[in-house]
Structure 1
Amino acid sequence: MEWKRLLLVLRILKKNWYSFAPLLGVLERDYSFHNLPIFFLRDFKKLSHSLVKDMVKEYDKVVFAYSFFTTQAPSVLKELKNLSKHISQLGKEKFVLIAGGPHPTGDVKSTLRMGFDIVALGTSEASFPKLIYNLQLDKPLYNTPGIAYFQNNEIIRTEKQDLPLDKFYSFSEKFDMFPPIEISRGCPHGCKYCQVSYSFGKKMHHRSVNIIKKHVEAYEKRFRERGRTDIRFISPNSLCYGSKDGLKSNPKAIEELLRTVKSLNKARVFFCSFPSEGRPENFDEELAGIISEYCDNKLVTIGGQSGSNRILKLMNRGHTIDDVYEAVEIAINNGLEVSVDFLLGFPSETRNDQYKTLEAIKHLFKKGKVKARLHYFIPLAGTPVAHSTPAPIDTEVLRDLYKLGRGGRIWGCLESQQDFSLGRRFNTS
């Protein structure tokens, strides 16, 4: 087969640029891709017709790759409509449009209708290199695992293939991408509003301490001139790192992780904080002590989500508001500050439910150094409530929350999330 000269164009979006880091890490360690030209498109406005035309002149194929959340889908659609004008003038056969990430995985049909040729399903560390390789050789798409595409107006899905977390790095030295280190993936809880269990599966997988240590060593080498290196982690529930079932904490594994990272030269360690929050039922005295001893963050983040046990049950959270109270009290007693996440607007949430959340926040504030981070329900693709209608926030509840939050104790993106959620439907035709 003839080898195609291929240009890979990565659309770098500010909020999730790090989604490409592990893929680039895989490519840079594979000799087959050492000469693969990659163009980082950080500002779509700079993608002029002359630039796209020059790409087509120099290469046989130009592959545009996107990774995006549901909240980013409308802006991505707008970009695709502009990009399609260039493509229609220069020849569709020269271009391939790939989409990956939470939204494309959760809503394959909609994503393909947006104008993408291929959707990468779920994790792509195994499939993405094979897809690029097959595109270079013009091989049929069915040879690539873990993708979806239209064929004769039907969606074809190939069998997924995942790599264990220890088989790849979540950063790229060559392309200078050093995001928070992913230490675990997957979640057994299946909260109805969250995409993690439905995109990555309900079995929790972990990266070993030895491989995490290699990550940290690379990070320290990169940021040596700063005089210190901040180490943060990505996990759906950091308090279950090393857990066999993802439900019960493994304090020994967590202590080994934090002790190992902390022992490395000039590393500041942040744990159970964004983007690796913890669940309240897992936060106990032993873990609070471990965090206090090894971590540099004095603020921990706990997922509370609602003050109403009825709503917590509907969400499939698997804990009660009393678990939240207990976790916060343990944290405060161990000299830690707490930020508790709450989600308003869940489908069928009533005024009474919202008042219970308001009262829960008031109760938590009395305990000491506690903040509340407010979110508004967004129907995310691929979740059980993807097509549900958000509940409006009662005006009096909202007024009281604003009063309560004076001084910065309540924060988040409640208004912007409301605006998106209530106008979330967008035309993909």
Structure 2
Amino acid sequence: MNVLLVKPYSKSDHIQPSLGLAYLASSIRHKHNVFLLDMLRLDIRDSSFREYLKQKKYDVIGFQLYTVELEIVRKLLLIVRDISPTIITIVGGPHATVCPEETLKFFGDNIDFISIGEAERNFPLFLDKIENKDRNFSDVPGLGWQENNKININPTVSFENDLDKIGFPAWDLIRPQEYPPAQHGAFFKNFPIAPIITSRGCPIQCSFCSAPIISGKRIRKRSPDNVLEEIKLLYHNYGIREIHIVDDNFTLDKQHAISVLQKIYDSNLGISISFPNGLKVESLDEELLILMKKCGVYLISLGIESGSNRILKLMNKKLTVEKIKEKVELINKIGIDMAGFFILGFPSETKEEIEQTIKFSMQLPLIRANYFNFLPLPGTKIYHELLQNGELSHTDWSNFFFMTAPYAPQGITNKHLRSLQRKAFIKFYSRPRIFLKNICQIKSYSHFKYLLKRFYRWILS
């Protein structure tokens, strides 16, 4: 069968390969003709998508779904239905995993199925059913559908513990060398870039994070040899010169992190490495940081989140302002640049505490800072608490984005929160040392234009 896997366009300015779809493609390509469409990278919108579908006959089309993309995917599903009602449609990803029944209700008759959780094992079974015209889907784990006005949700299977069994993503379908340089953010050191994972899962359960729900509460790892084999493939076959390690929690298992980094160091590939998803601050020690530096790690992103110990405790960060200062000073001593992630507008947070976080971010030796408005992600502990307390009533998922302040704590308006976010960005980056440090890292005119566009979007729009 011809199977099309689609990454929809979205509000994000992070144009990067979808590892989820690439792993999925790898799991089914031995039996089916698989096509990957990254609408964000190709700048394809509704009308162009319609024309794209007319070029080939597809039997099954799957969509990756994040919460903010619900309305976008609904429009795309309508286009599929209009072109050919016989095409089987299925939606998977984070939102379908944490809100399966709500997802089916939202799309209604415009969708056939949803996939819940990691799909490398259940998606091939599902396609076998479709190909054999077997309408009994009760034995396909993690599958959801509506039939006779009844919602059916099959139980999921346990997570795959041995990630080596999953195989590599279908890099030949992704073509990572064709992606723009600034994938995960505004800056990079070398190009082309590819993201990889060395593990899945996180047991920490920060109250605002959905990773344990989506990837599990236990870390599951790839072997260091398997990781290095993929990096070598990317280096030699696709010219990749920078790796972004995007694990849920790379450094929580220190021995695993050391083993992976040592393999990379011994390979003498000379690649640069970054951790754009952020590392757990308290898990970093001198031994690990020195090895990172030797391996080519040039930037560490840190999930600092707040400059208030009270808010850090509410976030279940198991971290204090004093510990953050200690670890940041250590990283600075080793000589690795740092970017900090901060959340503004956490439930019960006051204006004074937000100002405290902004001030704290500027006291740290960071070269970059990202200030995100708090998002009550579906499925998280804080999301359910806000629902129960009647503090969350919005239904406009299309506005559910880090830069739009869809939620604000009591006593602060959404408009005021957004202005505090703008103020934070401007204060941080307008300092001469930080401004010059970042300006000197611009690689090209196209990179400069990208930065201007991002500045306008994040600060002025």
TM-score (norm 1): 0.80
For structure 1, the residue ranges without an aligned partner over 5 or more in a row are 1-5, 244-249, 421-429
% identical aligned pairs: 23
> Structure 2 residue aligned with 1:217, among 225, 232, 241?
232
User: Following the alignment from structure 1 to structure 2, what is the Cα–Cα distance between the partners of residues 321 and 107?
Assistant: 34
Is contact 1:21–1:177 with CA below 8 Å preserved after alignment? no
Match runs of 1:1-400 below 5 Å: 6-13=1-8, 14=15, 17-28=18-29, 30=30, 32-33=31-32, 36=33, 38=35, 40=37, 42=39, 43=44, 44-48=46-50, 52=53, 62-87=59-84, 92=85, 94-112=86-104, 113-114=106-107, 115-139=110-134, 140-161=136-157, 162-163=159-160, 164-177=162-175, 179-223=194-238, 226=239, 229-240=241-252, 243=253, 250=254, 252-271=255-274, 273-275=275-277, 277-294=278-295, 296-364=296-364, 368-386=365-383, 387=387, 388=392, 389-391=407-409, 392=414, 393-394=416-417, 397-398=420-421, 400=423
Structure 2 residue identity aligned to 1:145? P
Once the two structures are TM-superposed, the CA of residue 400 in structure 1 deviates from its matched residue by 4.7
The 1:398/1:21 distance shift into structure 2, 3 A limit, reads closer
**What are the superposed Cα offsets for residues 116-158 of structure 1, whole Å, 9 maximum, x if unpaired?**
2211111111111111121111222213112122233333222
Q: Confirm or deny that 1:405 pairs with 2:429.
A: yes
Is contact 2:50–2:79 with CA below 8 Å preserved after alignment? no
Once the two structures are TM-superposed, the CA of residue 287 in structure 1 deviates from its matched residue by 1.7
2:188 corresponds to which residue? Answer: none
Once the two structures are TM-superposed, the CA of residue 326 in structure 1 deviates from its matched residue by 1.3
The 1:168/1:316 distance shift into structure 2, 3 A limit, reads same
User: Following the alignment from structure 2 to structure 1, what is the Cα–Cα distance between the partners of residues 7 and 35?
Assistant: 12
Q: How many residues align?
A: 383
Once the two structures are TM-superposed, the CA of residue 403 in structure 1 deviates from its matched residue by 2.8
User: Following the alignment from structure 2 to structure 1, what is the Cα–Cα distance between the partners of residues 378 and 16?
Assistant: 18
**What are the superposed Cα offsets for residues 318-365 of structure 1, whole Å, 9 maximum, x if unpaired?**
21222221111111111122111101122222112212212211321x
Structure 1 residue identity aligned to 2:7? I
2:402 corresponds to which residue? Answer: none
The 1:298/1:167 distance shift into structure 2, 3 A limit, reads same
User: Following the alignment from structure 1 to structure 2, what is the Cα–Cα distance between the partners of residues 286 and 345?
Assistant: 35
The 1:63/1:407 distance shift into structure 2, 3 A limit, reads farther
The 1:229/1:337 distance shift into structure 2, 3 A limit, reads closer
Once the two structures are TM-superposed, the CA of residue 239 in structure 1 deviates from its matched residue by 1.5
User: Following the alignment from structure 1 to structure 2, what is the Cα–Cα distance between the partners of residues 327 and 40?
Assistant: 41
**What are the superposed Cα offsets for residues 240-290 of structure 1, whole Å, 9 maximum, x if unpaired?**
2xx2xxxxxx2x43222112123225341414x213x21111122222212
Q: Which moved more, 1:183-192 or 1:13-22?
A: 13-22
1:301 match: secondary structure: strand
Q: Which moved more, 1:396-405 or 1:100-109?
A: 396-405
User: Following the alignment from structure 1 to structure 2, what is the Cα–Cα distance between the partners of residues 52 and 306?
Assistant: 46
The 1:390/1:63 distance shift into structure 2, 3 A limit, reads farther
Q: RMSD between aligned alpha carbons?
A: 3.0
User: Following the alignment from structure 1 to structure 2, what is the Cα–Cα distance between the partners of residues 212 and 382?
Assistant: 31
Is contact 2:80–2:87 with CA below 8 Å preserved after alignment? no
User: Following the alignment from structure 1 to structure 2, what is the Cα–Cα distance between the partners of residues 155 and 414?
Assistant: 44
Once the two structures are TM-superposed, the CA of residue 100 in structure 1 deviates from its matched residue by 0.8
Once the two structures are TM-superposed, the CA of residue 398 in structure 1 deviates from its matched residue by 4.6
Structure 2 residue identity aligned to 1:175? L
Once the two structures are TM-superposed, the CA of residue 203 in structure 1 deviates from its matched residue by 0.9
Once the two structures are TM-superposed, the CA of residue 27 in structure 1 deviates from its matched residue by 2.2
User: Following the alignment from structure 1 to structure 2, what is the Cα–Cα distance between the partners of residues 355 and 132?
Assistant: 52
2:448 corresponds to which residue? Answer: none
Is contact 1:231–1:269 with CA below 8 Å preserved after alignment? yes
User: Following the alignment from structure 2 to structure 1, what is the Cα–Cα distance between the partners of residues 73 and 271?
Assistant: 36
TM-score (norm 2): 0.75
The 1:15/1:116 distance shift into structure 2, 3 A limit, reads farther
The 1:335/1:40 distance shift into structure 2, 3 A limit, reads closer
User: Following the alignment from structure 1 to structure 2, what is the Cα–Cα distance between the partners of residues 46 and 68?
Assistant: 19
The 1:171/1:41 distance shift into structure 2, 3 A limit, reads closer
Is contact 2:5–2:62 with CA below 8 Å preserved after alignment? yes
**What are the superposed Cα offsets for residues 172-193 of structure 1, whole Å, 9 maximum, x if unpaired?**
1442455412111111111222
Structure 2 residue identity aligned to 1:64? I
Is contact 1:376–1:414 with CA below 8 Å preserved after alignment? no
